[in-house]
Structure 1
Amino acid sequence: MAPSARPVHRRSLLRALGGGAAAGALAGCGVPAAYIAPDERSAGDRSAKDGALTFANWPLYIDTDDKDKTRRPSLDAFEKRTGIDVRYTEEINDNDEFFGKISPSLMNHQETGRDLIVISDWMCARFVRLGWVQEMDRSRQPNVTKYLDPLLRSPHFDPGRKFTVPWQSGITGIAYNKRRLGREIRHVSDLWADDLKGRVTLLSGLDEAFALLLQGDGVDVTRWKADDFHRMCDRIEELVNSHHIRRFTGNDYIKDLSSGDVLACQAYSGDVIQLQADDPDIEFVVPEEGAELWAESLMIPNLARHKRNAERLVDYYYDPEVAAELAAWVNYVCPVPAARDVLASAKDKELAALAEDPLIFPDDAMRERLAIARDITPKERTEFAKRWNALAGL
C-alpha cells in the first residue's frame, strides 16, 4: 500500500450544448418513455450460482501493485476472500460519454452488461431520476450502514443513499501559490482583488464550478434558487468582461498554477496533494463561507445479473482496513472516516502522515464548512447551461 500518481480527468466538463447534447437533452427533458418504474428494474439474480461481477470504473481509480500494474491488491483480496471473479474495466473517461454509451440499453429495458458503475454524483442524479438504477439492500451492507461519512449520507438527489454509495469524495475549493501571491486567501471574494487581475482561473464545467461561487455570495447551496444562480453569473460576467478572470479550465489549471501563469484558481482537493509534493508553496483553501463536498458513486444498473455480488463488493470497500488501502493510493477525500485510525497506526511514516492530511480526512473545522450542493434539476439545466457555457466560452 503506497501513495501513487493522482487520477485525472474525473470531474469532466459538462457538455450539455456540445458533444454531450443528446445525453443532456434526454435527461434534462425527463423524457417520459425513458423512465423505468421500480417493478421493472430487476432481473433474475445469478449471484448464488455464478460467482462473477462486472465492475466499470474510471482509469487509475483503484490501488495497483507498484511492480505489476495488472494487479489490484484490494480487488485481488476480495476475489480470494469471496471466490467472486471480478471483471474490472477502466472504461469511464467522461460522464456524458458514458451516459450516451449505456443509455440506449437502459431506456429500452435491456441489460448493460455491467453490474456496478462509478460516475459523478451530478450524473448519478440523472440515473436516479430516470429510474435506471436499482435500490441496494442495506441489510447486506453492514459496513456501509456503519461507516459511511455522515456528511455524504443524504444528498438532495438520493435521500438516505438508497441507490448510490460514494466510491471516493473530494472538495472543490481554491488553490493558490502563497509565496508568489504574498498573502493568504481565505474567502472566494479574495480572488477578485486587484493584484489577481488576469491571474485567476475558474473551472469551465457548470456542475464543477457553480456551488463554490454561490457559497462565495453567501448562498446556502443545499437550497439555492435560480435567482441566486443568475446573480452569481452577473458578477462573473463583469469579471470576464474586465479580463480579471484569465480563462476557464478543465484539469489543465494544474499546469497554469505550477508554471506561475496563474496565482489562484478553483481546484479539486485531490489534485493539490500531488501539486504540494512538487511545490510546498501551493495551498488549498476551504473558504470561510464554505466549499462544495462532492462524490463519485457506485450504482447498480437496471437488470444487472449479479446484484448481490455487487452489493457485497460495495460493502467490502467500506471495511475501514480496505478503505484505508484505497485512500492511501488515490488520495481523494475518504468516505470512510474510520479509515483514518487505520492509517494513523501504520508503521510506515508516509502512510501514517496521510491520516493527518485534511484533504484526505478533513478535520472538524473544515468539515463544518463543507456542504453537498443541491443538484441542478432537469428543468433548470438547459437554461443554466446555456448561460454558463456562454460565460465560459464553451
Structure 2
Amino acid sequence: MKHHYPQRSLGRSPRVISTSRRRFLQASAAVLSGLALSNCRRGISNVQSGSASNGGSANAQSETLHIYTWADYTDEGLAQLFTERTGIEVVIDIYDSNEVMLAKMQAGGGDAYSIIYPSDYMVEEMIRLDMLSELDHAKIQGLDTLFPQWQNPTYDPGNAHSIPMSWGTTGLLYNTSQLDFEPSDWSDLWDNQEQLFRRMTLLDDVREVMGAVLRSLGYSYNSTNPAEIEEAYQRLVELKPALASFQSFGWEDQLLSGDLALVMAYSVDAIAATLEDPSLVYVVPNSGSSLWTDTMVIPKSAPNPEAAYAWMNLFYEPEVSAEVVSRLFFATPIQPAFDLLPDDLKANDDLFPPEEILAKCEGIAPVGEAIELYDRLWTELSSA
C-alpha cells in the first residue's frame, strides 16, 4: 500500500543546539497557552512508573484522569492546561514497552487508567482480547484532519478503537566523535564489535530487537517462521557479549558523554538527542526497520471515559498539538498541527523521513502463536 506523508523538503535541516530544546542535561522551558512546560522524562507530578493508585472513592476517581503512556508524550504544562479547562486533575504513569503495559492491564493493575497509549500492533492485540472501548467519534473533534494514512489504518480500520497521536521509526543513534566509521545498517554492529564492545545498547523490546535482526537477515520484522526466528536468536547470541545492555531509555547522558558510542533508539528520542549535540547522528538502517504509530485508546475498564474524550480533544487542537510536538519532537499525524510546526522541524528528515527511507520500513504486527517462541528466546537471551 502506498503511504501518504506530509510534503516536506528532502534536505537535512541543520542540527542547531538550542537552550529551548535541551532535554537531557538541564531543564528547559517552553510555553503552551501561557503555561510553562517541564521535562516529562524527569517525572510528572513526581509520579513513579506504573504507580497509579487504584484506590479512592468513586467521586475521587471522577475528578481525576489517570493516563498510562510512554515517556515524553506529555508533560506538566499539558496536564495543567487540561486541569484549568476541565477541573480534572491528571496523573500520568510511564511504561517502557507495550508488553509491560499489557501485562499490567491483564493482571488487573490498570483499572485506574482511562487513557492508554499503545502502539499499532498492540492495538490489534488489545482489540482481540476485547480490552478496548469502541470510540464514539461524535465526541472526538479533528479526526477528519488526519493525514490519509491514518484515517483508515490497517491495525484499526476506521479508528474504531484508537486515535493516532504520533508516528516514527526505529534506528541507530551514534556519536560521530567516538567512531571511525559511519553505521548504515544493522550488520555494522556485528562487523565492528571490537570498537563497539560494551559501548552499544539495544532496545529492551523483544519485537523491535528480534525484528531488526530478522530484517538484517532478509526476513520480515513480523516473521512467524520458527527457523527464521531461531536464526535471528543465534545471531543475537553472537552479539550479546559486546552489548552494554538492553536499554530503551535513560541512555542519553552516557551517549552525550561518550561512555556509549551507539544505541538502538526510537526516533522520538533520537531526534531530541541530535538537536542536543551535533556529534550525534540518527540513521534508519539500509536493510529496513520498523515504522510505528502510537495511539490513544480508552480501555473498557476506564473509570472516567468522558475525561478521556476531553483529553483526546485537547490534544487534537492543532495549536496545542503543534506546541507539544515542537517541545517533545515526535511526528504528528494531524495535518493542521504539522502545518503550524516551525520550518526546521518540517524539514528534519529524522522527524519526517523521505519516501525512500519509509519504503524500507515495516509496521510491527501481531505474530499469533509465534509470540511464545519470541518470548521464550528473549528470556533466554536477556537472562544469560
TM-score where L is the length of structure 1: 0.70
Residue of 367, 375, 392 corresponding to 2:366: 375
Structure 2 CA distance for aligned equivalents of residues 7 and 368 of structure 1: 32
> Aligned-pair distance for 1:286?
0.8
| SS of equivalent to 2:117 | strand
Q: Look up the SS of the partner of 2:142 in the other structure.
A: helix
Q: Describe the shift of the 1:4–1:127 C-alpha distance in structure 2 as closer, same or farther (beyond 3 A).
A: farther
* Structure 1 equivalent of residue 117 of structure 2: 118
Whichever residue aligns with residue 61 of structure 1, its letter is Y
Q: Please, which of 319, 336, 354 is the counterpart of residue 345 of structure 2?
A: 354
CA distance in 1, matches of 2:239, 2:167: 30
Q: Deviations over 1:234-268 (max 9, x none)?
A: 2122233xx44444334244344333343223112
Within a 5 Å distance, the mapping from 1:240-319 to structure 2 comes to: 240=240, 243-302=241-300, 304=302, 307=305, 310-311=308-309, 313-319=311-317
Residue of structure 2 equivalent to 1:87: 89
Cα distance in 1 for residues equivalent to 2:181 and 2:336: 35
Classify the secondary structure of the residue corresponding to 2:177: helix
Residues matched between the structures, number: 331
- Relative to structure 2, which stretch is displaced further, 174-183 or 356-365? 356-365
Identity of aligned residues (%): 23
Unaligned runs of 5+ in 2: 1-19, 24-38, 44-49, 51-61
1:200 maps to which residue? 200
Contact 1:57 1:88 in 2 (8 A): no
Aligned to 2:136: 137
Check conservation: 1:9, 1:251, Cα contact below 8 A.
no
Aligned to 1:61: 73
Structure 2 Cα separation of the partners of residues 166 and 4 of structure 1 = 27
Q: 1:147 to 1:172 in 2, by over 3 A?
A: same
* Cα displacement (A) at 1:386: 1.7
Residue aligning to 1:75: 82
Please show how residues 114-193 of structure 1 align to structure 2 within 5 Å: 114-121=113-120, 123-141=122-140, 143-148=142-147, 150=149, 153-156=152-155, 158-193=156-191
2:177 and 2:108 mapped to 1: Cα distance? 52
TM-score, normalised relative to structure 2: 0.71
Q: Tell me the SS of whatever aligns to 1:180.
A: coil
C-alpha distance in 2 between matches for 1:286 and 1:94: 21
Following superposition, the deviation at residue 285 of structure 1 comes to 0.4
Give the Å deviation of 1:8: 4.2
Q: State the match for 1:389 in structure 2.
A: 379
- When the two chains are superposed, the root-mean-square deviation of aligned CA atoms in Å is 3.7
Counterpart in the other structure of 1:218? 218
Over residues 284-308 of structure 1, what are the superposed CA-to-partner deviations in whole Å (9 max), with x where a residue is unaligned?
Answer: 0011222212233211121546545
Unaligned 5+ segments in structure 1 are 11-19, 21-50, 66-70, 345-351
Do 1:74 and 1:326's aligned partners in 2 also have CA atoms closer than 8 Å? no
Alpha-carbon shift at residue 189 of structure 1 (Å) = 1.4
Relative distance call for 1:99 and 1:233 in structure 2 (3 A) is closer
The residue matched to 1:181 in structure 2 has which SS? coil
